[in-house]
Structures are given as structure tokens and as C-alpha cells.
Amino acid sequence: MVKVNSCVFISGSGSNLKSLIKNSRNHNFPIKINLIISNNTNAYGLKYAKKYNIPYKFYSYKSRNFFERNCLKELKKRKIKFLCLAGFMKLLSKYFIKNFRYKIINIHPSLLPKFKGLNTYNRALKNNEKYTGCTVHHVSPQPDSGNIILKKKIIIYDNDTENSLKKRILKQEHKLYPEAIRCSFR
């Protein structure tokens, strides 16, 4: 199988990145992670880049134009055709999305279209939702609004806290994201 050159954008712990790396090592997984980009020099996920010998870059997001120009240059140089956002906590501009021209997908910790944006666990609990979950979707200029690829629903228990809910959703994200990538290449 010819794998698609891919990049993962991260900002934090990198637990979804780790899951994607492990899946990408499987011979029949459709992507190869050729690059990791972070806007945070302290992102724990960069340790996975080092551990698995994957090239990585850091670009400051103080100027979104600077960040995006450098990313686009690097993606083009490395012939990247697929981009995964995995805990990347910044918005990409319409310019970036248009100029990348290939697929960009993201994982979000809610059942979109509900609870777009930040603080999803807290908002689901405060809204007394019975269910929440995670969604993998295509990235569009409007945050968390692109076409949905896959969703996973989980029950919210009476004794759930933000932390317990986050842990349970993250566990599902690690399964759902690789499956959504497989679906993207069928």
C-alpha cells in the first residue's frame, strides 16, 4: 500500500498523536506521518516525535500569518497531502485552508454540532446532557463546522466530573481518529 504523506499539528499532550503514530506503523494504515508541527515548544507530544524519529517543527503563533506561511512552506517542501489536527488549539485561517488544497481533519471532544469551541466537558455537564462524545470532521473556515466523518457517543453519568468525562472521551478519541482516517481513504 502506498501511504499518503501526512503531518499532525499539536499543541499539548499528544495522546491522539501517539495513537495516530502507532496506527500509522501498521502496514495497511493509509497515512505515513512525515512531520509534526507544534505551536508550543513545551508540548509533551513533541517527545513522541523524538521517540519515533519523526521530524518536527515549532512555529510561534504570536503572528498567525508567520505561523501559517512557515507551515505551508514546510508542508509543500515535504510533499504533505493530508493534515491531522490533534489537540491543536489554534484556528487556521481561510487562507491556510484554501492554500493547503488537500484534506485537513480534526478531532473535537463533543458530538458536533453541539458544543463547538472550548470547554466542551464543562458545557455538556452544565447543560445536563445525557450523552456527549467526540467527532472527527473536515476542517472548514468556520470552527468545528466542517463535514462530519465519524462520531462516537458516550453516556454522561450522574457522578461524572470534567476530568472523568475528559478521560473517557479521550479513550474513545484514540479509537475514533484512526478509524476516521481509514474512512477518509476508502
Q: Is 27 a catalytic residue?
A: no
Catalytic option among 108, 137, 138, 174? 108
Dump the DSSP string for the chain.
Answer: -PPEEEEEEESS--HHHHHHHHHHTSTT-SEEEEEEEES-TT-TTHHHHHHTT--EEE---SSHHHHHHHHHHHHHHTT--EEEESS--SPPPHHHHHHH-SEEEEEESS-TTTT-SS-HHHHHHHTT-SEEEEEEEE--SSTT-SPEEEEEEEEPPTT--HHHHHHHHHHHHHHHHHHHHHHHT-
Query: Residues 52-75, buried b or exposed e (16+ Cβ, 10 A)?
Result: eebebbebebeeeeebbebbbebb
How far apart CA 85 and CA 10 sit, in angstroms, is 6
Enumerate the active-site residues.
Answer: 108
